[in-house]
């Protein structure tokens, strides 16, 4: 009977789990030192929570089903609806700005492909109740801080930022109608990844207006984008200017963004975005809460891990244990267990054989455990209240009194 994981789902054997935890640790560290508090919501939510803002068509991309009580439910594909629901429920009692983060797992029913499975872990950081450009810059700084903790610098990644207000104003200035806006923005967003995007813009808007759009993307008229200029100024205050570049081709897919939008890419431009976010003022109100400005970002584990691998920066899993305790003969099994308990009580990660293997076999188990040190418990030293500590890399051995062992 050979069972397998479902296609698009991952088994995390210990080596892979250790890397996942190392990424999460960087996410937790960056969040906490910037004063963000962790929250979480249910993996399963009512389907309506996700279709309410994104439309019924999103259901095609969801793990949606009817539960036994005939409720339409879905595995969460993103956090913003849950965040909006939770904030809306307690909006009046929560001090503003609300600074929350989470490290949830998301699910989407898509054809699995390289770098995109049907589940992934994503770090989400959000600020609710702040309209200042400093808030936009701070969440960007938090995203970059996690990358720095993992060893990535400005030579490795770039944060490209634009602003939805500017984009809409520019489209209006060349008479793009509001009904065309999302389609046109969609093709601008694809200009770098899809060779047909420029052609599609021409078909929709005519050559003249399409060329004008391409010209902005070249010229970057920041004087006509004061909101973006303000955000870039705040980025300097937060010490991240070396990472940040304005880029009007950054649009992002979701309809709910209202201000600055940004994505972090590898400088080589080989991978999908490592992270992306923006301002979504108005969304909390649409979920039944008060009218609070809001902004945030998401960073997934899959592209980040691939980038770290390419840079030779993938975190090394720690050894299973620090110390392996070896009874040198069967009658030393009980004393060895005493040593083991003493080490564990002191917080040292330690292991020992369950039975009484031969000494050579026990030493092999010590090697396999990844321990740096073996503690050999033999009758002569034990009579003196001591053990022998062996450095498993160098082979050096020395006698240590039990009370000095740590």
Q: Which stretch binds a copy of itself (CB under 8 A): 15-23, 160-168, 204-212, 242-250?
A: 15-23
Residue 4 to residue 1: CA distance in whole angstroms: 10
Minimum CB distance to a copy of itself smaller for 75 or for 299: 75
**Contact pick of 79, 99, 243, 302 for a copy of itself (by CB under 8 A):** 99
Q: Which stretch binds a copy of itself (CB under 8 A): 83-91, 183-191, 245-253, 393-401?
A: 83-91
Minimum CB distance to a copy of itself smaller for 312 or for 355: 355
**Contact pick of 27, 123, 166, 238 for a copy of itself (by CB under 8 A):** 238
Query: Minimal distance in Å, beta carbon 146 to a copy of itself?
Result: 12
Query: Minimal distance in Å, beta carbon 81 to a copy of itself?
Result: 8
Q: Rule CB under 8 A: which of 256-315 touch a copy of itself?
A: 286-288
Q: Rule CB under 8 A: which of 315-344 touch a copy of itself?
A: 320-321, 334, 337, 341, 343-344
Q: Does 145 bind a copy of itself (CB under 8 A)?
A: yes
Q: Does 128 bind a copy of itself (CB under 8 A)?
A: no
Q: Does 253 bind a copy of itself (CB under 8 A)?
A: no
Query: Minimal distance in Å, beta carbon 74 to a copy of itself?
Result: 10
Would you say 292 and 129 are in contact if contact means Cβ atoms under 8 Å apart? yes
**Contact pick of 4, 114, 208, 398 for a copy of itself (by CB under 8 A):** 4
Structure tokens belonging to residue 401: 């009194």
Minimum CB distance to a copy of itself smaller for 104 or for 201: 104
Structure tokens belonging to residue 272: 């999908």
Structure tokens belonging to residue 288: 């039944």
**Contact pick of 55, 112, 115, 132 for a copy of itself (by CB under 8 A):** 132
Non-local CB neighbours of 134 within 8 Å, separated by 6+ positions: 234, 237, 238
Q: Does 38 bind a copy of itself (CB under 8 A)?
A: yes
Q: Does 198 bind a copy of itself (CB under 8 A)?
A: no
**Contact pick of 39, 168, 181, 217 for a copy of itself (by CB under 8 A):** 39
Q: Which of 364, 325, 192, 177 is nearest to 263 (CA)?
A: 192
Query: Minimal distance in Å, beta carbon 329 to a copy of itself?
Result: 17
Query: Given CA atoms 43, 46, 48, 52 in this order, what sign does their dihedral have?
Result: negative
Q: Over the range 179-198, which residues count as b (16 or more CB within 10 Å of their CB) and which as e?
A: eeeeebbebbbbbeeeeebb
Residue 252 to residue 274: CA distance in whole angstroms: 13
Q: Which stretch binds a copy of itself (CB under 8 A): 60-68, 153-161, 304-312, 388-396?
A: 60-68
Structure tokens belonging to residue 18: 């250790």
Non-local CB neighbours of 390 within 8 Å, separated by 6+ positions: 373, 374, 375, 376, 396, 397
| Neighbour order of strands in the sheet with 373-377 | 350-351, 323-327, 373-377, 386-391, 397-401
């Amino acid at each position: 009977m050979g069972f397998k994981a479902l296609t698009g789902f991952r088994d995390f054997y210990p080596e892979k789990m250790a890397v996942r935890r190392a990424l999460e640790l960087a996410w937790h560290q960056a969040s906490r030192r910037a004063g963000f508090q962790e929250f979480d919501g249910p993996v399963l939510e009512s389907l309506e929570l996700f279709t309410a803002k994104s439309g019924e068509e999103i259901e095609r991309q969801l793990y949606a089903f009817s539960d036994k009580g005939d409720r339409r439910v879905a595995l969460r594909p993103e956090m913003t609806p849950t965040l909006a629901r939770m904030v809306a429920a307690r909006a009046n009692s929560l001090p503003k700005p609300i600074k929350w983060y989470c490290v949830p797992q998301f699910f989407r029913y898509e054809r699995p492909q390289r770098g995109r499975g049907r589940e992934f872990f994503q770090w989400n950081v959000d600020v609710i109740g702040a309209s200042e450009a400093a808030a936009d810059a701070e969440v960007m700084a938090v995203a970059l801080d996690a990358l720095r903790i993992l060893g990535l610098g400005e030579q490795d990644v770039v944060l490209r930022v634009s602003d939805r207000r500017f984009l809409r104003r520019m489209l209006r200035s060349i008479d793009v109608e509001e009904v065309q806006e999302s389609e046109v923005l969609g093709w601008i967003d694809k200009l770098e990844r899809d060779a047909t995007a420029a052609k599609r813009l021409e078909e929709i808007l005519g050559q003249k207006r399409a060329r004008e759009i391409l010209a902005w993307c070249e010229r970057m008229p920041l004087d006509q984008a004061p909101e973006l200029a303000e955000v870039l100024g705040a980025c300097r205050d937060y010490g991240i200017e070396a990472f940040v570049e304005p880029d009007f081709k950054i649009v992002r897919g979701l309809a709910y963004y209202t201000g600055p939008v940004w994505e972090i890419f590898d400088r080589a431009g080989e991978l999908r975005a490592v992270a992306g976010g923006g301002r979504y003022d108005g969304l909390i109100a649409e979920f039944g809460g008060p009218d609070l400005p809001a902004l945030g970002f998401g960073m997934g584990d899959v592209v980040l891990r691939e980038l770290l691998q390419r840079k030779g920066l993938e975190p090394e899993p720690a050894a299973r244990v620090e110390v392996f305790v070896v009874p040198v003969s069967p009658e030393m099994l009980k004393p060895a267990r005493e040593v083991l308990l003493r080490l564990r009580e002191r917080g040292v990660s330690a292991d020992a054989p369950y039975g009484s293997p031969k000494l050579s076999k026990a030493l092999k188990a010590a090697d396999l455990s990844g321990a740096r040190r073996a503690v050999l418990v033999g009758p002569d030293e034990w009579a003196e209240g001591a053990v022998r500590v062996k450095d498993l890399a160098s082979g050096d051995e020395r006698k240590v009194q039990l009370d000095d062992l740590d």
